[in-house]
Chain A
Amino acid sequence: MFRLTINQRQSESLSVMLFASAMAISIIAIASLLGVILVKGTGHFWPTKIQLVEMNAGQEVKKFYGQLVSESSYSDRSEITKQYRMTDWDRLGFSSVYIDDASNSMEGSYPVDVALLTLRSGSQVLAKPVSLISEHKAQPLSSFDQLLVEVAANRNQVEFILNNQIASLNSQLQTVDIAQEETRHQQLIDEYDQARHKANELKAALSSYLLIVEDALGTVYELPLNDIERYDYVNQYSLWGKFKYSLRSVWQFISESPKQLYASGGVFPAIFGTVVMVLVMTIFVTPLGILVAIYLHEYAAQNRLTTLVRISINNMAGVPSIVYGVFGLSFFVYELGAGIDNWFFKETLPAPTFGAPGLFWASLTMAMLTLPVVVVATEEGLRRVPDSLRMGSYALGATQFETIRKTVIPMASPGIMTGIILAIARGAGEVAPLILVGAVKFAPTLPIDNEYPYIHFERQFMHLGVTVFDGAFQGQLAGSGSNMMFAACLFLLLIVVLLNIVAQVVRQRLRRQYNALLEH
């Protein structure tokens, strides 16, 4: 009955609407994904204004300085729940406060003389700086910058004495024969004592630099200036000031180690670990993938077997990544790794060297995972090299290998590059298999350092994707951690998008090159 009531034109426009709305839903999905990551991710860097929040808790009025983290309302209740970040004096760090009924709290003012104090430990303090003390004398707040520089210089000097002078004296003392070189030994001991004394003096001087602050209730505290990394009068910042603050935060994010369990600091070790893992993976997968593709396309007879191999390789790209992780763990780590330990690292057993998840196995597993990407892209590149060029090369007396090396590979190189870039993007973004074969939430050391043999294939490493994954769980506990997760997520997204753009540009260039060739 219904079908009879609509004519052909109506049904035509209905189907167009169906397609269009499917399109619209997709666009909304993509836009909201990018929007959420962008807003939440950049939120980590952008300074939030500091509020003086007052709330009624029974009879007494509580006051604190806080930064608004989130605001949510429920449709069935008129209440608004607000979450603030505030300073917890007991732990000298941030904690969150939820205020269930916003009507209990009074929207406080934004006091301009309250600063966000970032400590070197990574925690932050919201307080009003009152005065400064150096060498037991009060100093005006205007000398804050100058005193911070002084303190930093002193701190560097102490560190220099401890790390260089005392360390070298120590090693000299160990080599000196006390019986034979008594005077020299004594001299070294004196020098050592002097250095120690100097360091202690400087340290004492350092601890005499203090910042006096006042919290929202008017309680006065002292903070050692040596603990303070920087201060920001966030509420006074103009747009440019806020922008500068953000830039500094971004730099901190990509250059520092995580602090306070990913509540602050940066993700440098994760970026570093990701880069090293991806590089090692590329070293494995590129030659192998290219050789496979060349054999398949240039040498192998095109029969049922090659078709089967080709289909298998294409399907390998669709295997869930966790399967590769399980394979890597059970075969690479437990079989190969244990074997290597038995042969080469017998002295350290039962503590495993290669028999535990680590950089090498993670890279190898990811190389297997990305092999199909490289093979398929390379073959696509080879397919685009016209046969007439191969013929031309053979006709000039080139062998098949010379033809491949001098004509086919150079012409297919954009396709090969595309494959490598896509593999890198895949390797940078993957999480599931990495958790099984070597990526950890926190690694005490980097996979490359100045310790022999400089690159440590057996070490566990940190990875951006894994950092995001961990952050997602932590985010339920502390609002501050979730922002860090979004920031890491944004960073990951940027890297992958950037790599894909590069791959796209390379592919376009390839197309143009061949179009020019096919015109004549």
Chain B
Amino acid sequence: MLDFFASSRTEKNLDALAADKVAINVKDLTLHFGEKRALHSISMKIPKNQVTALIGPSGCGKSTLISCFNRMNDLIPGCRVDGSVEIGERDIYHRKENVSVLRSRVGMVFQKPNPFPTSVYENVVYGLRIQGISERRVLDNKAESALRNAALWDEVKDRLFESALTLSGGQQQRLVIARAIALEPEILLLDEPTSALDPISTLTIEELINTLKDKYTVVIVTHNMQQAARVSDQTAFLYEGKLIEYSDTNRLFTMPREQQTEEYITGRYG
């Protein structure tokens, strides 16, 4: 009963969230790949310092949506975006937006761990070096704190200068997270970060996500509904490029408003 009230309160807040509590404000976002429409006028507010999960069946557009938040979809030929995505009250699709700066403020982690074939250390400081930081002491400090925040420090502190490829898959994925948070971004986008990992590594990453929301806003795409239920504060359900339902996670999984949502979470399709 208490749970119900708590969730209804959050739900109410999602629509009329105070401006300073919003990390990403998506307004009427429509995206085309060539002639094909991939996202249909999506509007949603993603709150600060919380974990927001995007779920839905394969091809529903959840990965496309998350890659709109740091404009990685710019790299796909034939991609066209209408509407706006505001981060810090600035439209990131404004033509004067500096995409490189944006991407350093909105970090992203991909499905498969993709460490550079250099040392662990060089991986973590890659973005810092791009920023023009070359002072060894600063790099060392930032690398250590990033690795600590990614819960990887204890495992790699003795092999910082070994090849990152010698780490296990789960460690590599945490290294990639460390690499992203070394830049101290505002937002961290995780695109199915555990789909290539074993259950134990998955658990470690999920615990990590819980601690990350103290500092960052986390958006996670997952095909695993249990995972969404475990880690997220609110969940958005997408289907065929449309945002079907977006609400508090407990609410969405226990009392979905839409029939499509219910069918999906009860496993009738997807």
Contact = CB atoms under 8 A, between A and B. Distances in A.
A402 B110 contact: no
Interface of A: 301, 386, 388-389, 391-399, 402, 406-407, 411, 513, 516-517, 520
Interface in B42-75: 70, 72, 75
B130 A407 contact: no
Interface string B92-119: 0000000011111101111011111100
B24 interface: no
Q: How large is the interface on B (under 10, 10 to 19, 20 to 34, 35 or more residues)?
A: 35 or more
B141 interface: no
A406 B130 contact: yes
B115 to A, nearest CB: 8
A413 to B, nearest CB: 12
Given A406-B126, A406-B130, A392 B176 contact: yes
B114 A397 contact: no
A394 B75 CA distance: 10
Given A388-B110, A407-B116, A411-B117, A395 B130 contact: no
10 contacts: A389-B116, A392-B110, A392-B115, A395-B103, A395-B110, A396-B180, A397-B102, A397-B130, A516-B165, A520-B113
A411 B129 CA distance: 18
Given A513-B117, A516-B165, A520-B172, A397 B110 contact: no
Contact of B100 (A399, A407, A516, A520): A399
Contact of A391 (B110, B115, B130): B110
Nearest to A519: B165
A239 to B, nearest CB: 50
A397 B183 contact: yes
A272 to B, nearest CB: 40
Greatest chain B CB density within 10 A among A301, A386, A517 is at A517
A517 B116 CA distance: 9
B179 interface: yes
Contact of B165 (A301, A411, A517): A517
A392 B116 contact: yes
Contacts of B115: 392
Nearest to A410: B118
A520 to B, nearest CB: 5
Contacts of A395: 70, 72, 103, 107-110, 180
Contacts of A411: 117
Interface string B77-92: 1000000000000000
A396 B117 contact: no
B110 A398 contact: no
Given A392-B110, A520-B172, A397 B117 contact: no
Contact of A397 (B75, B131, B169, B196): B131
Contacts of A407: 116
A1 B169 CA distance: 66
A176 to B, nearest CB: 62
Nearest to B163: A516
Given A391-B72, A520-B169, A396 B114 contact: no
Contact of B103 (A386, A396, A520): A396
A122 B57 CA distance: 86
A397 B116 contact: no
B127 interface: yes
Greatest chain A CB density within 10 A among B70, B107, B113, B127 is at B127
Contacts of A389: 114, 116-117
A515 to B, nearest CB: 10
Given A396-B107, A397-B104, A388 B183 contact: no
Given A388-B112, A406-B130, A516 B117 contact: yes
B201 to A, nearest CB: 11
A391 to B, nearest CB: 6
Nearest to B117: A517
B117 A394 contact: no
